[in-house]
Structure 1
Amino acid sequence: MEYKTDIEIAREAQKQPIQEIGARLSIPSEHLLPYGHDKAKVGEEFIKSIQGRQNGKLILVTAINPTPAGEGKTTTTVGLGDGLNRIGKKAAICIREASLGPCFGMKGGAAGGGYAQVVPMEEMNLHFTGDFHAITSAHNLLAAMIDNHIYWGNELEIDQRRVVWRRVLDMNDRALRDTVTSLGGVANGFPRQTGFDITVASEVMAILCLATDLEDLQRRLGDIIVAYRRDRTPIYCRDIKADGAMTVLLKDAMQPNLVQTLENNPAFVHGGPFANIAHGCNSVVATTTALKLADYVVTEAGFGADLGAEKFLNIKCRKAGLAPSAVVVVATVRAMKMNGGVAKADLGAENVDAVKAGCPNLGRHIENIKSFGVPVVVAINHFVTDTDAEVQAVKDYVASQGSEAILCQHWAKGSEGTEELATRVAEIADAETSDFAPIYPDDMPLFEKIETIAKGIYRADAVVADQKIRTQLKDWEEAGYGNLPVCMAKTQYSFTTDPTVRGAPTGHSIPVREVRLSAGAGFIVVICGEIMTMPGLPRVPSAEAIGLNDDGQIEGLF
């Protein structure tokens, strides 16, 4: 049977004018700032006017560790949102924006798939409403102003060896990881070693996604530590006097974007920090706005539950005062087989034993989420090659873990394929059974917070960190940063720091290579193993297959 590609399905969408989508959430058209006919930003004035309303129910969608077989977390998020609307609930979706880096690298698009997509798919995966460009510009303005300050006499006495603010670009470009700037003589400034991160790893991205309004945004931008003096005292963004201009550049980017699913249900798409190096959730503004406008809000957190969900629950919910009513963990039969040792080329053949062998990865994620005090349901994202026996094996395993698994066919059938999941999730959310709490308190020492995640979530025996890192954490505690949460930067493919180790490993340790203070975002970034803050392109980048066809339509995004 011939299946249409995601982009072909998206192109056939019967989109409604964005004002009609806004009307479904009772957003007056004068408070929508349209970008074309099918996307708009929701005005700050309107967002402020609804803060007194009661919140709807928050539902988090997360997943097992990603495999090359694919899991479909965004697809399930969209499918569940459509399913809730199908059964008569007033629901909205909140997802992140796509980064150009993975779009042209390995991943392709990031707007769902099949008949559970958010549209306009092409624009969402490319420039969209310019938010990432604004973040890139604001970040690099600060970088330029730091070097400019040094050039014109260095009144703040910045130690040029201790400038910690790098530059960013929304592209996978390994050549820029480690660079030397200001070569070419006196007119170009003082040469120093620096480098680039990808835009989605920028602290400015994290700040935009955690700030509550423009005032909070500027305060957080001002709090960014950009460099140190020779006596190790910090220099802040506000000392460089860049926070005002950066806020101006981010003024429109702060407003959440409203679009629609293929079934014309409202979707907020805003912010896009990576979950393997940043905190991996869409913006607090988008989520909290959706909660004031809809009875159920379905949002996702990036990669597996050991990364995205952990950060959603320990960082975003803690900082924004949110509590999820239910968590959906997405799994596929194919991914269970890969975790059970089957090669990607052999996934089409029935192998119930391999499914059972791979299920402990799912089991650990279920157990981890339950440790936060929230109810868990598993969504089995259906593939046409799945057999009844394989699906039943997953259901039986999940039942043995004290949870339940529901087969979902949203990729092929849209909301019709998620009615059962939507009904069950709504029941759980309405039952008020969530006793949510982060797994560590604010006042726990920073290294103990790292150990709590490494041992409790990753099931590691120990955290390996040299004395320099431990001393750095102690220094930050003494400087008043000890109450911050930690943001783990780690491979998404495994509970360990080795991307090739699948399943539910034990007996491993977590090596911490570096720690970074994101004082504006309000967390400590803990870089584990070989994780890169500037990814590279694969041997055959997705970009090679992207282009315009004879009709001027984009091909190759998927």
Structure 2
Amino acid sequence: MSASLPTDLEIAHAATLRPLVDVGSDLGLTEDQLEPWGRDVAKIDLAVLDEPDAGHRAKYVVVTAITPTPLGEGKTTTSVGLAQALGRLDKRAVVALRQPSMGPTFGIKGGAAGGGYSQVVPMERLNLHLTGDFHAVTAAHNLLSAMIDNHLHHGNKLGIDVRNITWRRVLDVNDRALRTVIVGIGAREDGLVRQTGFDITAASEVMVLLTLATSLEDLRLRLGRIVVAYTVEGKSVTADDLQAAGAMSVILRDALKPNLLQTLEGGPAIIHCGPFGNIATGTSSVIADLVGVRGSDYVITEAGFGADMGAERFFNVKCRVSGLVPDAAVLVATVRALKAHSGRWVIKPGKPLPEGLLAESPDDVRSGLPNLRKHIEIIQRFGIAPVVAINAFPTDFDSEHAVIQQLCDELGVRCAVTTHVADGGAGALELARVVTEAAEEPNDFRFLYPLEMPLTEKIETVAREVYGADGIDVSPSAAKALAEYERLGFGTLPVVIAKTHLSISSSPSLKGAPTGWRLPVREVRAAVGAGYVYAICGDMRTMPGLPKSPNAERIDLTEDGSIVGLS
């Protein structure tokens, strides 16, 4: 494998793109079902979901990873490379991915179109605006925010407790100065003075429910169920109470339609939605997958971060909504990540890799194998066959790959080395072959918990059976919130646990597969529109994009708007 490649942008610009009508045809889409957005991007008409599918169902494959380093281990490139390789094996394959947020795009992380010769193109369109879906989410979210303040200004007929408003504002830009703001300063006509703030658009509940909606009607119902505040008596206040959901649905009408692009090798790629993986579901949309399974042999989709986070939510949340049963799971592993889990090396974003980490050391890889073993067990816990994809880097050594292969052989798990970044689909052919084998085997897919299980027990079940924790420690405020959500009828929702992505545990400093620890449940909130309750666990500073508690820190102001102190 070559150690030197052109830049991703140079590779993308050198590509010859197929007419998008031809790309859509590979997915069973007619020209009338595509709505062009420029030359190389199209929206897919949702009417396609209403057509009979003749009982066809594609194989459904999720790509996840071991616990990543801050640099990421290549789930997106592996997803694209695998789809390209399946195309080379004469399989009709589509890759369904999230759209990147422009906040991380302009930060250290960069874009999310894949890399090397396993990319989705046009790269610039994908990373910058695309068809404006993120801006539609921003507008719909902030319309609801404005209607809350407008309701307060006009007398607060619903009796909203101003200190218990949970709905903030969003923006698809990293702007720390807006994390906490005071609104309403000025004349009385400018509204009620209160503290609020901005989160990044990818952290919006609207983004998640757009991801999980199955139709425009379902989207409208989910928007109406969004809880934005509570009254002094503790009653929840929803978007429907504020009569905002209809207008939000209109704003999101086009955003609900998935976007069709193509891979570098001309295969179809559906890009839709982009919720964060550390604090939300971390998957692309249900609708994208439903479109894909109707017109292909294989749908390759991705779940954010490691199997403890992305795959768990994919199985327990997304698959409940879609009704789709996964046929296989690809677990991406890298030599550098396993060396990091040995505890001997620290990888920091924006900094060069330690020289010693790049030296040949099968022992370092072997010391990090408990992390890989744990993620294999997590996937198997859901009754799905895992396939380990060793995402090879030019700095790897064959002896290091052999250590990983040996563990897989001992566990009876399929494994393949893939060089898709350097070689495109040709570099992932062996991975494609073992994935097709795994997908043909019958599986015993099962959810981790029944929805009837109490919320506290659901959280503890994930903590024990997925993370390997000894149990959970629930703060008094979290326990109060859990009891209140049960009283309000939210107890039958699934749970999402917001924690660091840098460890299976809730502490980023614990590497490998830590044992003897307990999951600290610090705060619990209800994302009722999206359809889950989420628990914030561990150090919140390790979770970029996490919305702040509305009651975390209050700033007192005089009637004229001057700040008088903190409470």
Normalising by the smaller structure, the TM-score range is over 0.9
Q: How does 1:426-441 map to 2 (within 5 A)?
A: 426-431=436-441, 433-441=442-450
For 1:479 and 1:471, the matched residues in 2 are separated by 12
Q: 1:508 to 1:226 in 2, by over 3 A?
A: same
For 1:530 and 1:176, the matched residues in 2 are separated by 21
Q: Does 1:362 align with 2:364?
A: no
Deviation at 1:10, TM superposition (A): 1.0
Deviation at 1:347, TM superposition (A): 2.3
| Equivalent residue, structure 2, for 1:380 | 390
Deviation at 1:172, TM superposition (A): 2.2
The alignment of Structure 1 onto Structure 2 pairs a total of residues equal to 535
Q: Does 1:495 align with 2:504?
A: yes
Deviation at 1:152, TM superposition (A): 1.1
Deviation at 1:470, TM superposition (A): 1.4
| Equivalent residue, structure 2, for 1:271 | 273
* Superimposed CA distance per residue, residues 340-397 of structure 1 (whole angstroms, 9 cap, x where no aligned partner): 1234312221011000001111110000110000001100001111111111011001
For 2:407 and 2:245, the matched residues in 1 are separated by 52
Unmatched segments (≥5 aa) in structure 1: 537-558
Query: Which amino acid letter does the alignment assign opposite residue 280 of structure 2?
Result: A
Q: Does 1:342 align with 2:342?
A: no
- The answer as to whether partners of 1:69 and 1:338 remain within 8 angstroms in 2 is no
Q: Does 1:204 align with 2:213?
A: no
- Match for residue 471 of structure 2 among 452, 462, 484: 462
- The answer as to whether partners of 1:484 and 1:524 remain within 8 angstroms in 2 is yes
Query: Which amino acid letter does the alignment assign opposite residue 514 of structure 1?
Result: E
| Equivalent residue, structure 1, for 2:6 | 4
| Equivalent residue, structure 2, for 1:389 | 399
Report SS of the residue matched to 2:186.
coil
Deviation at 1:51, TM superposition (A): 5.6
Q: How does 1:412-431 map to 2 (within 5 A)?
A: 412-431=422-441
Deviation at 1:336, TM superposition (A): 1.1
* Superimposed CA distance per residue, residues 146-203 of structure 1 (whole angstroms, 9 cap, x where no aligned partner): 1001101212121211111111111222222222211124121111121222111111
Deviation at 1:500, TM superposition (A): 2.3
For 1:229 and 1:67, the matched residues in 2 are separated by 43
- The worse-fitting range, judged by mean Cα deviation, of 138-147 and 336-345 is 336-345
- Match for residue 130 of structure 1 among 129, 132, 139: 132
For 1:4 and 1:531, the matched residues in 2 are separated by 38
- Match for residue 119 of structure 1 among 84, 98, 121: 121
For 1:285 and 1:535, the matched residues in 2 are separated by 25
* Superimposed CA distance per residue, residues 489-546 of structure 1 (whole angstroms, 9 cap, x where no aligned partner): 111101122222221111112112211111111000111122356549xxxxxxxxxx
| Equivalent residue, structure 2, for 1:513 | 522
For 1:235 and 1:2, the matched residues in 2 are separated by 56
Unmatched segments (≥5 aa) in structure 2: 347-352, 547-567
| Equivalent residue, structure 2, for 1:554 | none
| Equivalent residue, structure 2, for 1:221 | 223
Q: TM-score, normalised by structure 1?
A: 0.94
Q: 1:372 to 1:86 in 2, by over 3 A?
A: same
Q: Which ranges of 4 or more aligned residues in structure 1 deviate by more than 3 Å? A: 50-53, 532-536
| Equivalent residue, structure 2, for 1:528 | 537
Query: Which amino acid letter does the alignment assign opposite residue 392 of structure 1?
Result: A
RMSD value, Cα:
1.4
* Superimposed CA distance per residue, residues 228-266 of structure 1 (whole angstroms, 9 cap, x where no aligned partner): 111111111011111011000000000010100000000
Q: TM-score, normalised by structure 2?
A: 0.92
Deviation at 1:69, TM superposition (A): 5.3
Q: How does 1:88-237 map to 2 (within 5 A)?
A: 88-237=90-239
For 1:50 and 1:40, the matched residues in 2 are separated by 22
- The answer as to whether partners of 1:57 and 1:296 remain within 8 angstroms in 2 is yes
For 1:37 and 1:356, the matched residues in 2 are separated by 49
- The answer as to whether partners of 1:69 and 1:334 remain within 8 angstroms in 2 is no
- The answer as to whether partners of 1:514 and 1:526 remain within 8 angstroms in 2 is yes
Query: Which amino acid letter does the alignment assign opposite residue 362 of structure 1?
Result: L
Query: Which amino acid letter does the alignment assign opposite residue 93 of structure 1?
Result: V
- Match for residue 361 of structure 2 among 348, 351, 369: 351
- The answer as to whether partners of 2:5 and 2:116 remain within 8 angstroms in 1 is no
| Equivalent residue, structure 1, for 2:485 | 476
Report SS of the residue matched to 1:275.
coil
Percent of counterpart pairs with the same letter?
Answer: 50
| Equivalent residue, structure 2, for 1:315 | 317
Q: Does 1:247 align with 2:249?
A: yes
Deviation at 1:467, TM superposition (A): 2.4
Q: How does 1:32-111 map to 2 (within 5 A)?
A: 32-50=34-52, 53-68=55-70, 70-111=72-113
Deviation at 1:12, TM superposition (A): 0.8
- The answer as to whether partners of 1:380 and 1:408 remain within 8 angstroms in 2 is yes
| Equivalent residue, structure 1, for 2:419 | 409
Report SS of the residue matched to 2:79.
helix
Deviation at 1:145, TM superposition (A): 0.6
Q: Does 1:299 align with 2:301?
A: yes
- The answer as to whether partners of 2:224 and 2:529 remain within 8 angstroms in 1 is yes
| Equivalent residue, structure 1, for 2:26 | 24
- The answer as to whether partners of 1:177 and 1:534 remain within 8 angstroms in 2 is no
- The answer as to whether partners of 2:117 and 2:420 remain within 8 angstroms in 1 is yes
- The answer as to whether partners of 1:172 and 1:534 remain within 8 angstroms in 2 is no
Query: Which amino acid letter does the alignment assign opposite residue 400 of structure 2?
Result: E
